[in-house]
């Protein structure tokens, strides 16, 4: 029997007297507005559990009162996955994981770090660093995004090329099921063939199958030396050719390979004043930022990197125009600041049509050229702001309107047709419409449209089995 909704908050206060419950209008409004300000929704309140036991009690009470739960970490997502759906068929409670901070421990012999879901990604990195190790997951939002959110969205970032995404870094996790039960496995085993691996169902499920509370993640020996290069290339074709050679000669050292077109780098200069290395005789080059890491000495690493890059410059067929090696840590940080400021520069420039796509690295140039050709064939006046993790096949294929054109009008007039072109072409080259940002509520319709019916049916069957009442994050991912 479902209990009256209005009795939920009093019941929570009675069962969990120390639980922080915020029902202030401004607090709810802030928590229910996504990072892009695309969705502005509502909730009965925001709760801040401090441990797994509190979450199990919250879930059981919400189930009894027929109230849905939207779980939120840092609220840095781009697809509306961490805020309640608008016009939901039932009231929502927003559950913030930011106070889940009771576990943070490093196991040096096992090369793992076990942490509660509420720790910010940057805090996990710092804990590993203080113990003398590296936690390699790295995103522009790492000061705000949380470990739980990183796993729920299977976050990628700039080091996937070498270390993999959140899924590949996770050895085990704990979660609370829709029945309010503690589930999962935190033993940190690299070999374990005892039944279905629930971890992989939860990773990337965006809070629709369970609430992640803790995780055991891989850490690595900290590199003793790093080298950062800024390369000018003729186009994305050249960027892929150069990557192929670098991987054949420096595979164990290359950790990041980020490509940016001229417009993207120009926006950062215009809004922040950050200046990329430039070559006067080649003003329209495209850009690649590469990082190499090694357990060897700085002298040995720099020698290998310089030797390989010099050989690449002597091969004009590759399309490598120029190379700059950072001379110190400050210079390398300034170059990374350019790459990490592109999204914020776009936000300052105005609204734009965003896409997070991926395909095999070998087919990225084909996708890039074909999508641009089809967009230009529509006679649209556009500015393609293109950048991303070329080393793992992921591009942020964003499109802005002309300078001095109201961005809201551009979005309203052209967003649908631009997205249709981009999504059509990425599928034609065997790619995906969502590489690392997820589905959320933004792409739920699209997911159903592009997924084979048999696969989508299995998605629904898993959701029904694990959350039969539709309690967890309804309206996200699956319709």
- What would the pLDDT profile of 132-171 be if each residue is shown by its tens digit? 999 999 988 899 999 999 999 999 999 999 999 999 999 9
Q: Within 398-478, where are the H helices?
A: 407-428, 444-450, 453-466
Considering the domain 225-342, what is its CATH architecture?
2-Layer Sandwich (3.30)
Per-residue pLDDT, 88:
62
Q: What is the pLDDT of residue 58?
A: 98
The pLDDT of residue 37 is 85
* DSSP string for 241-292: HHHHHHHHHHTTTEEEEEEE-HHHHHHHHHHH-------TT-TT-EEEEEEE
Cα–Cα separations (whole angstroms), residue 214 to 148, 151, 238, 308, 320: 7, 10, 42, 42, 45
Q: Which residues does 415 contact at the CB level (< 8 Å), separation at least 6?
A: 353
SS3 8: helix
Q: Which of 52, 44, 54 is nearest to 8 (CA)?
A: 44
* Residues in CB range of 130: below 8 A, 6 or more apart: none
Residues with Cβ within 8 Å of 217's Cβ and at least 6 positions away in sequence, in order, are: 112, 113, 114, 115, 124, 135, 137, 147, 169, 170, 171
Position 279 scores a pLDDT of 67
Q: Give the CA count within 13 Å in the CB-facing half-sphere of 229.
A: 27
Q: In whole angstroms, what is the distance from residue 361 CA to residue 259 CA?
A: 12
**d(C-alpha 166, C-alpha 128), whole Å:** 16
Given CA atoms 183, 186, 190, 191 in this order, what sign does their dihedral have? negative
**Distance of alpha carbon 70 from the chain centroid:** 19
Pairing outcome for strands 92-96 and 46-48: parallel
Structure tokens at 380: 């649209």
Residue 212: strand, helix, or coil: strand
Place of tokens 């990072």: 35
As a dihedral over the C-alpha atoms of residue 399, residue 402, residue 406, residue 412, rounded to 10 degrees, the angle is -40
Q: Provide CATH code, domain 5-96.
A: 3.30.43.10
DSSP letter, residue 235: S
pLDDT of residue 281: 62
Which residue bears the tokens 């410059």?
Answer: 313
Q: What is the distance between the alpha carbons of residues 112 and 135, in angstroms, rounded to a whole number?
A: 9
CATH of 350-428, one of 3.30.70.2740, 2.60.40.420, 3.40.50.720, 3.40.50.11540: 3.30.70.2740
Longest CA–CA span in the chain (Å) reads 75
| DSSP string for residues in 83-149 | SPPTT-SS-EEEEE-TT--S-EEEETTTTEEEEETTSBHHHHHHHHHHTTEE---B-TTTTT-BHHH
Say which DSSP state 223 is in: P
pLDDT for the residue 4: 86
The model's pTM is: 0.93
**417-454 burial code (b ≥16 CB/10 A, e <16):** ebbebbbebbeebebbbbbbbbbbbbbbeebbeeeeee
- For the chain, the structural domain boundaries read 5-96, 104-221, 225-342, 350-428
Which tens digits make up the pLDDT trace of 424-458?
Answer: 999 999 999 999 999 999 999 999 999 999 999 99
Question: What whole-number percentage of the chain has pLDDT above 70?
Answer: 99
Tell me, yes or no, if the two domains 225-342 and 350-428 fold the same way.
yes
User: Any idea which architecture 104-221 has in CATH?
Assistant: 2-Layer Sandwich (3.30)
The answer to whether the CB of 441 falls within 8 A of the CB of 40 is no
Which residues of the chain have a pLDDT value below 70? 1, 87-88, 279-282
Q: Are 82 and 149 in contact (CB under 8 A)?
A: yes
Contacting residues for 236 by C-beta, under 8 A, at least 6 apart: 259, 261, 286, 364, 365, 368, 390
- State both tokens at 159: 């080091």
CB 292 within 8 A of CB 206: no
- The CA angle 354-355-358, to the nearest 5 degrees, is 160
Query: How far is 149 from 5, CA to CA, in rounded Å?
Result: 27
User: Whose CA is closest to 426, among 358, 352, 355?
Assistant: 358
Structure tokens of 144?
């705000």
């Amino acid at each position: 029997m479902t209990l009256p909704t209005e009795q939920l908050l009093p019941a929570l206060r009675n069962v969990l007297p120390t639980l922080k419950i915020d029902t202030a209008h401004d607090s709810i409004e802030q928590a229910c507005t996504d990072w892009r300000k695309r969705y502005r929704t509502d909730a009965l309140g925001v709760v801040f559990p401090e441990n797994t036991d509190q979450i199990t009690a919250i879930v059981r009470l919400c189930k009894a009162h027929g109230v849905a739960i939207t779980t939120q970490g840092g609220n840095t997502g781009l697809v509306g996955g961490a805020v309640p759906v608008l016009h939901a068929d039932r009231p929502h409670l927003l559950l913030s994981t930011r106070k889940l901070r009771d576990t943070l421990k490093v196991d040096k012999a096992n090369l793992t770090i076990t942490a509660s879901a509420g720790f910010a990604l940057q805090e996990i990195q710092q804990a590993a660093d203080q113990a003398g190790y590296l936690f390699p997951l790295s995103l522009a939002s790492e000061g705000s995004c949380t470990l739980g959110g990183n796993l729920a969205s299977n976050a990628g970032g700039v080091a996937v090329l070498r270390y993999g995404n959140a899924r590949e870094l996770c050895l085990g996790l704990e979660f609370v099921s829709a029945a309010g039960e503690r589930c999962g496995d935190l033993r940190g085993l690299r070999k374990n063939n005892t039944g279905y691996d629930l971890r992989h169902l939860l990773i990337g499920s965006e809070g629709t199958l369970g609430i992640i509370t803790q995780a055991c993640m891989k850490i690595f020996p900290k590199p003793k030396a790093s080298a950062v290069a800024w390369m000018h290339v003729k186009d994305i074709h050249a960027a892929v050719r150069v990557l192929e050679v670098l991987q054949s000669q420096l595979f164990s050292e290359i950790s990041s390979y980020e490509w940016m077109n001229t417009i993207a780098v120009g926006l950062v200069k215009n809004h922040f004043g950050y200046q990329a290395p430039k070559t006067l005789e080649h003003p329209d080059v495209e850009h690649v930022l590469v990082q190499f890491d090694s357990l060897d000495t700085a002298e040995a690493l720099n020698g290998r990197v310089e030797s390989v890059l010099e050989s690449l410059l002597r091969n004009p067929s590759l399309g490598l125009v120029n190379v700059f090696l950072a001379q110190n840590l400050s210079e390398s940080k300034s170059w990374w600041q350019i790459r990490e400021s592109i999204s914020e520069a776009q936000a300052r420039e105005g609204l734009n049509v965003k896409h997070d796509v991926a395909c095999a690295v070998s087919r990225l140039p084909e996708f890039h050229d074909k999508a641009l050709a089809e967009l230009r064939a529509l006679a649209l006046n556009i500015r393609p702001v293109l950048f991303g993790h070329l080393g793992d096949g992921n591009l942020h294929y964003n499109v802005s309107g002309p300078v001095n054109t109201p961005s809201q009008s551009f979005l309203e007039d052209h967003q649908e047709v631009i997205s249709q072109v981009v999504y059509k072409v990425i599928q034609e080259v065997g790619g995906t419409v969502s590489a690392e940002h997820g589905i959320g509520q933004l792409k739920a319709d699209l997911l159903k449209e592009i997924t084979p019916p048999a696969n989508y049916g299995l998605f629904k069957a898993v959701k029904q089995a694990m959350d039969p009442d539709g309690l967890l994050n309804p309206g996200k991912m699956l319709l």
